[in-house]
Amino acid sequence: MSDAVTAQSPARALTRDLLSLTKPRIISLLLVTTVAPMYVAGHPSFTLVLVLLAGGYLMAGGANAVNMYLDRDIDDRMARTRLRPIPSGRMHPKQVLAFGLMLATAATWLLAHYANLLTAALALLGFYAYILLYTRWLKRSTPQNIVIGGAAGAIPPLVGWAAVTNGLDLMAVYLFLIIFYWTPPHFWALALNKQYDYGRAGVPMAPLVWGERETKRQMFWYTLILISLTLLPVAFGALGLPYLAAAVLLDAWLLIGIVRVMRAEQFSKPAWSVYKYSLLYLALLFAAMAVDRGFFR
């Protein structure tokens, strides 16, 4: 019995490592921002939703794996990344690269075959924007890395919209912009607490380059723009009062959290609170959109 368990252990360890390469916790939010817009755009079939969930996971998981391949030279310098499969020595870099590209290829075929070509093309655009625009270029060259690179994380709503409509319109653009402007305050809240980690890795995150005070100020202004964007769909009639009520409550709590970060002398705890809440904020905001269009329109 013990020999059988021992024989299975390497396979189980490899499975855990392969799963960790895809970053399931991060992907769960991306899938929410992919599927919720499908219900805002129309009435997708259950099969199409499953296809987008599978294709979205594979594409995002592939991007995360390739990201770990590209960042292998700095991951061992950061406490939160040094236990990843490559820096820990559990997997060879070429294995990780091949795994990531295989997932992206499978996702492209799946989305093109069972959704449409536009959906597959947009998902692939997100893949390359993340690994080339953000990871390969912006991440190590400018404190604007999160701002410009945030475009990659804002593509999932476009993917979901295109899957249902085979096109894009103004509402899809607004969904893109909401995530684009959500990204800086979300990640800068993390960067405030991880700035020394980023410093050891040579990544010029905003707190290291601009300073903590300016980073907090930028978080505030981006949050104000974000709040304005979340309310605009109501102004032009795309979403109604149920969504508006949810958005106002979610926006107010986010703004309160940002103000607490700005005013706190010891910002570690309020910054962590903003980082964690912002994840819930985005998921609930997109869920409110889907509920508004699905049940009240």
Map out the domains of the chain with their CATH numbers: 1-167 (1.10.357.140), 169-297 (1.20.120)
Where is average pLDDT lowest: 74-83, 177-186, 205-214, 273-282? 74-83
pLDDT value at position 115? Answer: 96
Using one digit for the tens of pLDDT, what is the confidence trace for 28-40? 999 999 999 999 9
Using one digit for the tens of pLDDT, what is the confidence trace for 158-182? 999 999 999 999 999 999 999 999 9
249 pLDDT above the threshold of 70: yes
pLDDT value at position 2? Answer: 42
Q: How far apart are CA 147 and CA 233, in angstroms?
A: 23
Six-digit token string for 145: 């890395």
Using one digit for the tens of pLDDT, what is the confidence trace for 192-215? 999 888 888 888 999 999 999 999
pLDDT value at position 96? Answer: 94
Where is average pLDDT lowest: 106-110, 111-115, 136-140, 252-256? 136-140
Q: Considering the chain, what percentage of its residues have pLDDT values greater than 70?
A: 96
Quick check: helix, strand or coil at residue 189? helix
Residue 118: which pLDDT band, with cuts at 50, 70 and 90?
A: very high
pLDDT value at position 4? Answer: 45
pLDDT value at position 297? Answer: 61
8 pLDDT above the threshold of 60: no
Q: Alpha helix (H) ranges present in the chain?
A: 2-22, 24-41, 46-70, 72-75, 93-114, 117-128, 145-153, 156-165, 170-201, 206-209, 212-235, 241-263, 268-295
Mean pLDDT over the full length of the chain: 92
Torsion-angle region of 202 (φ positive above 0: left; ψ -120 to 50: alpha; else: beta): left
Q: Residues 84-91: what's their mean pLDDT?
A: 89
pTM recorded for the entire structure: 0.92
Quick check: helix, strand or coil at residue 234? helix
Cβ neighbours of residue 56 under 8 Å, at least 6 residues apart? 27, 30, 31, 34, 107, 123, 156, 159
